[in-house]
């Protein structure tokens, strides 16, 4: 089939590569001038274990399976990663109960090697940590997400696929058993494809509304939740990822490491109405307070505003977290079309598993 994948983020690239490996003739249309310019360039680069997500949810299934596939892909394609492990820490009795619940959920989801440890054992691992207990997840890690996306792009091209940059998709119409696609940009025009995947991230809902005849009730609402990061200006003190217990809308302000060993904190949750990528320096106050719950030694004036990312959520403040929405022909009735909505965390970790699922739905 001639397959069009819309969006060259990590999920679109994984789908395009998987479709090319399955023998399809694949084109990716990307509105901007490069790969990974959307949500995929603004995350924590954490390979998640798969602890938190409800039993049998798409997030649970794709995160656990996608993590195993991602580590294997990194090994076989020379992409840098480090399985550094992660601690989810409890600083009081109520949090300890929450962490134990997270462990049980993780085990139900099939996460390997989970272990509850006491405060002293946690301090043997991370001397600066203050907690009464912690969940150790040895399978969690970090990955060079741009190296990963470049490797996906390379494999796509090796199989004859290509990416058309600066090519926003404007309209999709199903006629004469093919998808008629209208592009804008420099080389505006119209081309027919056999199959289409909408993996446009924050633009997925707007694009779905431009599919002629697509059922309006199959386009969920889009809720934007900004996640701000602050970088730490001193010498890093942790060698593992350190997470507090989750908060409404996110996993809590956690210690994130990059492959160079640098340490930063975030993302918090700031509900916003419109896309904006500035980081408000005054939010540092709440970061100090939250981080000192588990790292009392955080020095004053050591945090500086870094970057932020925007989560494409499907539910708002106070509402239960939504699952990924991967809507194929069986759900919406239009042939060889898959729309992806709400692919927030753990979308990077899940990308290869989501890709297999989507390509199967196209057949």
Q: Write out the residues near ligand FAD by the rule CB under 6 A.
A: 6-12, 29-32, 37-40, 42-46, 48, 168-169, 199-203, 207, 227, 267, 309-311, 343-349
In this structure, the strands spanning 133-137 and 115-118 are antiparallel
Nearest-approach distance from CB 94 to ligand FAD, in angstroms? 26
Nearest-approach distance from CB 207 to ligand FAD, in angstroms? 5
Closer by beta carbon to ligand FAD, 96 or else 308: 308
Closer by beta carbon to ligand FAD, 93 or else 317: 317
- In terms of Cβ atoms closer than 10 Å to its own Cβ (0-12, 13-18, 19+), residue 141 is buried
Looking at the chain, the number of H-run helices and the number of E-run strands are 9, 21
Q: Are the C-beta atoms of residues 262 and 241 closer than 8 Å to each other? A: no
Closer by beta carbon to ligand FAD, 133 or else 347: 347
Nearest-approach distance from CB 296 to ligand FAD, in angstroms? 25
Q: Which residue is nearest to ligand FAD, using beta carbons?
A: 347
Q: Which of 121, 152, 154, 157 is nearest to 136 (CA)?
A: 121
Q: How far apart are CA 167 and CA 30, in angstroms?
A: 5
Q: How far apart are CA 293 and CA 92, in angstroms?
A: 10
Q: How far apart are CA 310 and CA 307, in angstroms?
A: 11
Q: Are the C-beta atoms of residues 119 and 131 closer than 8 Å to each other? A: yes
Nearest-approach distance from CB 121 to ligand FAD, in angstroms? 25
Nearest-approach distance from CB 168 to ligand FAD, in angstroms? 4
Nearest-approach distance from CB 332 to ligand FAD, in angstroms? 18
Closer by beta carbon to ligand FAD, 7 or else 133: 7
Closer by beta carbon to ligand FAD, 123 or else 210: 210
Question: What 3-state class would DSSP assign to 77?
Answer: helix
Closer by beta carbon to ligand FAD, 133 or else 346: 346
């Amino acid at each position: 089939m001639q397959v069009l994948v819309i969006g060259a983020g990590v999920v679109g690239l994984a789908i395009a590569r998987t479709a090319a490996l399955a023998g399809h003739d694949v084109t990716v249309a990307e509105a901007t001038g490069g790969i990974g310019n959307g949500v995929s360039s603004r995350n924590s680069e954490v390979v998640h274990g798969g602890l938190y997500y409800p039993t049998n949810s798409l997030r649970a299934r794709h995160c656990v399976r996608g993590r195993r596939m991602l580590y294997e892909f990194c090994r076989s394609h020379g992409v840098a990663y480090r399985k550094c492990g992660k601690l989810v820490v409890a600083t009081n009795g109520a949090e300890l109960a929450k962490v134990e619940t997270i462990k049980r959920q993780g085990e139900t989801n099939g996460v390997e090697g989970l272990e509850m440890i006491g405060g002293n054992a946690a301090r043997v691992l991370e001397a600066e940590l203050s907690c009464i207990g912690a969940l150790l997840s040895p399978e969690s890690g970090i990955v060079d997400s741009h190296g990963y996306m470049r490797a996906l792009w390379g494999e796509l091209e090796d199989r004859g696929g290509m990416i058309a940059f600066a090519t926003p998709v404007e309209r999709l119409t199903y006629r004469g058993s093919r998808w008629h696609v209208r592009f804008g940009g420099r080389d505006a025009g119209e081309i027919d494809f056999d199959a289409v995947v909408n993996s446009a991230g924050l633009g997925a809902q707007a694009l779905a509304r431009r599919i002629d005849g697509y059922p309006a009730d199959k386009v969920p609402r889009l809720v934007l939740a900004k996640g701000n990061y602050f970088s730490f200006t001193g010498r890093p003190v942790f060698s593992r990822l350190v997470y507090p217990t989750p908060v409404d809308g996110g996993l809590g302000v956690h210690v994130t490491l990059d492959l160079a060993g640098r340490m930063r904190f975030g993302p918090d949750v700031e509900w916003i109405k419109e896309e904006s990528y500035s980081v408000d320096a005054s939010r540092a106050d709440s970061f100090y307070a939250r981080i000192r719950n588990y790292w009392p030694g955080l020095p004053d004036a050591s945090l500086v505003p870094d970057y932020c990312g925007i989560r494409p959520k499907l539910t708002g403040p106070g509402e239960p977290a939504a699952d990924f929405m991967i809507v194929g022909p069986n759900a919406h009735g239009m042939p060889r079309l898959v729309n992806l909505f709400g692919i927030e965390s753990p979308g990077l970790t899940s990308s290869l598993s989501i890709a297999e699922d989507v390509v199967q739905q196209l057949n």
